[in-house]
């Protein structure tokens, strides 16, 4: 598969060519909430997750394998071959992806109704719970730590960025869980990690790029409208989803707008995007 962008709609995954922005193909009907590409030299594989299961999907043969049933509220990658999912009941499950999707650990946690899950290390996870409550859970020690109230969060290197409800972005060291700084800004709706020094934030019509070491705004992306979420695809492409379900592409090298697509699919809610080579 050439370098492509996979966009998850309620009934299918549409695959777009990143050069032409034209629809290349569609995968069979599915209802996906999260999607994680899998590195494999010979096959195009995805871990696909909906609200009731996760499974390994082969894009070449269009078949599912190694399915596991669970009511899932959030997920994240631990490394290239491990994924963590949080059940609506607070159970945290760890899976190895290859050679087959296999559960390797399960933990009872306080991460009930988790909406965002981040792996700070192989043993430490941060969950954003309903009510803007970020919670740190150490699976080895079985301990829980609550952080200050936040609407959104992302991990950049060894720093956890927390978007506060009333404005500003707190910066927390994941080794000590102490606040080490903050970025002064108006309230943000979402955060996205760009690299070890840089994050992006969005608030409706604004996308701002920040250096977390200096707290300075590097760039303000112009031409945005009704931004709903941000996703980094590969290392040089930032994808912004609009509330009208159109998709904008931005270069992380120049911060220039590269194009928009998806107008013909506006009536379908986009749930996730990812890149695949």
pLDDT, tens digit, 9 for 90 and up, residues 230-258: 999 888 899 998 888 788 899 999 999 98
pLDDT, average across residues 92-96: 94
For residues 49 and 145, the model is more confident at 145
Element of type H or E holding 19: none
* Closest CA relative to residue 241, chosen from 257, 219, 225, 220: 225
Residue 1: pLDDT band (50, 70, 90) is very low
- Whether residue 99 is preceded by a cis peptide bond, meaning omega within 30 degrees of 0, is yes
Q: Would the CA dihedral through 174, 180, 181, 182 be positive or negative? A: positive
- At 161-199, the pLDDT tens digits run 999 999 999 999 999 999 999 999 999 999 999 999 999
Determine the pLDDT at residue 138: 94
Domains of the chain, first to last: 32-146 (2.130.10.10)
Do 66 and 56 form a contact (C-beta atoms < 8 A)?
A: yes
Spell 147-173 as b/e; 16+ CB within 10 A means b. Answer: beebbbbbbbeebbbbbbeeebbbbbe
**Which residues lie below 8 Å from residue 254, measured CB to CB, with a gap of 6+?**
none
Q: What is the mean pLDDT of residues 91-99?
A: 92
Q: Write the pLDDT tens digit of every residue in 31-57.
A: 676 788 787 766 778 888 877 888 888
């Amino acid at each position: 598969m050439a370098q492509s962008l996979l966009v998850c709609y309620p009934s299918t995954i549409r695959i777009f060519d990143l050069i032409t922005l034209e629809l290349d193909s569609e995968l069979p009907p599915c209802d996906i909430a999260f999607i994680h590409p899998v590195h494999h030299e010979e096959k195009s594989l995805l871990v696909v997750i909906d609200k009731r299961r996760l499974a390994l999907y082969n894009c070449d043969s269009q078949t599912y394998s190694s399915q596991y049933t669970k009511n899932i509220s959030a997920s994240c990658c631990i490394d290239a071959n491990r994924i963590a999912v949080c059940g609506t009941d607070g159970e945290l499950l760890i899976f190895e992806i290859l050679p087959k999707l296999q559960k390797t650990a399960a933990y009872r946690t306080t991460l009930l109704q988790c909406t965002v899950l981040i792996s700070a290390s192989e043993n430490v996870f941060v969950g954003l719970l309903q009510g803007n409550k970020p919670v740190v859970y150490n699976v080895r020690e079985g301990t829980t730590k609550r952080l200050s109230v936040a609407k959104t969060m992302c991990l950049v290197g060894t720093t956890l960025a927390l978007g506060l409800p009333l404005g500003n972005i707190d910066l927390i060291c994941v080794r000590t869980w102490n606040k080490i700084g903050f970025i002064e800004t108006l309230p943000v709706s979402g955060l996205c990690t760009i690299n070890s020094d840089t994050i992006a934030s969005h608030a409706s019509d604004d996308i701002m790029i920040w250096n977390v070491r200096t707290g300075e705004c590097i760039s303000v992306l112009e031409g945005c409208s009704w931004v709903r979420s941000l996703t980094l695809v590969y290392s040089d492409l930032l994808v912004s989803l609009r509330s009208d379900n159109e998709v904008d592409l931005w270069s992380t090298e120049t911060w220039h707008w590269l194009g928009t697509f998806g107008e013909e699919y506006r009536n379908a809610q986009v749930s996730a995007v990812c890149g695949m080579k």
